[in-house]
Amino acid sequence: MIASQFKRAILASFFIILFFVTAFSNARASSGEGEAFNASEVILHHVVDDHVWHFFDGHYGTLYLPVIVYSEQHGLEVFSSGNFYNDDHKVVPYGNYTLVDGHIHLAADPEAFVLDISISKTVLMLFINAALLIIIFMAVGKAYKKDAKKAPKGMQSLFEPIILFIRDEVAKPNIGSNYEKFLPFLLTMFFFILFGNLLGLLPGAANLTGNIAVTLVLAVFTFIVTNINGNKHYWKHIFWTPGVPLPLKFIIVPVEILGIFTKPFSLTVRLFVAITAGHIVMLALISLVFIFSSYYVGIGSTIIVLFINLIELLVAAIQAYVFTMFSALYIGLATEDHH
């Protein structure tokens, strides 16, 4: 059973790597015969957010996403990002706006403020991730409501051990007797990050949890839940630490106040760096094939990337667990009873 699953994971990783190699070769071909392969440009294109979602070269391999912008000069405008590209896929101005390095500016005044609330690649991936979570867990919940005494099967049997693990090994030890109040929040965070990490490893997928704006929002949710539910002992410990000599309080109190904000900052950076670094390493190794144009380098890079991709599957679960565990720890410190 385990051996069969391991073989499937290796096969899936192989096809993922094959897709990336094909995509990179297409990117090199589209850049022109005389141009050198620019690894940094291609890697950043696959890692950062964009108004266009490329799956493969060609008209049917590109998804042009909706642009929604607002400016004081022209008000609210909605149009397709495909208008920014000509037949040769070169960036051109459209109407009152122009696209520069992935950012939309006014063509007449690039320094003017433009509110960009477009459905970018990351935003669309976030919607897909959320929709997938809703569909799966509504089905799991419906199955439990239908017959709670029946042994779980299908998706129930897959997710029940994970849910019990988060409850018994993360929520209970770190939060204590009041864990049930925060369990839905912790489960939502865990599965949102886990699904986002795993989906980001699929061919053509967007780098959702490798976007610092996404990880920042997740950390802000933990910050809000933690501090809203903080009891009087938690706030007393921060603003007037008990059992500490008065002169030291003037040093410790600022540190404690700073600690309120460094906790979500660490959550933000840890998840962002771990996921983005993994993607960059894989893409950099694939780029070596086109930099050296050698079959030997290609074989070596493919073997290394294959194992890194398997490690990334483990990292996806570990980072979801770490984010959830630290969130539970911070909540537990804010809500624990005074001893």
> pLDDT of 175-232, one tens digit each?
988 899 999 999 999 999 999 999 988 877 888 999 999 999 999 999 999 999 998 8
Q: What is the pLDDT of residue 304?
A: 85
Look at the block and give the residue holding tokens 């693990």.
165
Show the domain range for 233.
Answer: 121-335
Closest CA to 326 of 191, 219, 193: 219
Residue at 173 is within a domain: yes
Distance of CA 125 to the CA centre of its chain: 9
Q: What is the pLDDT of residue 70?
A: 94
Residue at 6 is within a domain: no
Q: 36 pLDDT exceeds 50?
A: yes
Residue at 49 is within a domain: no
Q: 264 pLDDT exceeds 60?
A: yes
Residue at 324 is within a domain: yes
Residue at 22 is within a domain: no
Burial call 204-237: b when 16+ CB within 10 Å, e when fewer: ebbbbbbbeebbbebbebbbebbbeebeeebeeb
Q: Provide the number of structural domains found in the chain.
A: 1
Compute the Cα dihedral for 319, 166, 132, 126 and give only its sign.
negative
Cα–Cα–Cα angle for 295, 11, 156, rounded to 5 degrees: 155
Adjacency order of strands within the sheet including 66-71: 75-80, 66-71, 115-116
Closest CA to 139 of 111, 121, 159: 159
pLDDT tens-digit series, residues 177-193 = 889 999 999 999 999 99
E strand intervals along the chain: 52-54, 62-64, 66-71, 75-80, 97-100, 103-106, 115-116
Q: 271 pLDDT exceeds 90?
A: yes
pLDDT-derived band at 317 (thresholds 50, 70, 90) equals: very high
Say how far apart CA 323 and CA 325 lie, in whole Å.
6
Q: 143 pLDDT exceeds 90?
A: no
DSSP secondary structure letters along 240-263: S-TTS-HHHHHHHHHHHHHHHHHH
pLDDT tens-digit series, residues 9-26 = 555 555 555 555 555 544
Say how far apart CA 26 and CA 34 lie, in whole Å.
14
Residue at 177 is within a domain: yes
Q: What is the pLDDT of residue 218?
A: 96
Strands 52-54 and 62-64: antiparallel
Torsion of CA 235, 239, 240, 246, to 10 degrees: 170
Residue at 23 is within a domain: no
Residue at 104 is within a domain: no
- Strand, coil or helix: 206: coil
Amino acid in the structure at residue 189: M
pLDDT tens-digit series, residues 93-120 = 998 899 888 889 998 888 889 999 999 9
DSSP secondary structure letters along 291-310: HHT-HHHHHHHHHHHHHHHH
Backbone angles phi, psi at 121, to 5 degrees: -60, -45
- Per-residue pLDDT averaged across 236-261, rounded? 86
Say how far apart CA 331 and CA 339 lie, in whole Å.
17
Mean pLDDT, the chain, integer: 84
pLDDT-derived band at 33 (thresholds 50, 70, 90) equals: very low
Q: What is the pLDDT of residue 224?
A: 96
Say how far apart CA 297 and CA 45 lie, in whole Å.
23
CB 328 within 8 A of CB 186: yes
Closest CA to 66 of 157, 153, 127: 127
CB 335 within 8 A of CB 175: yes
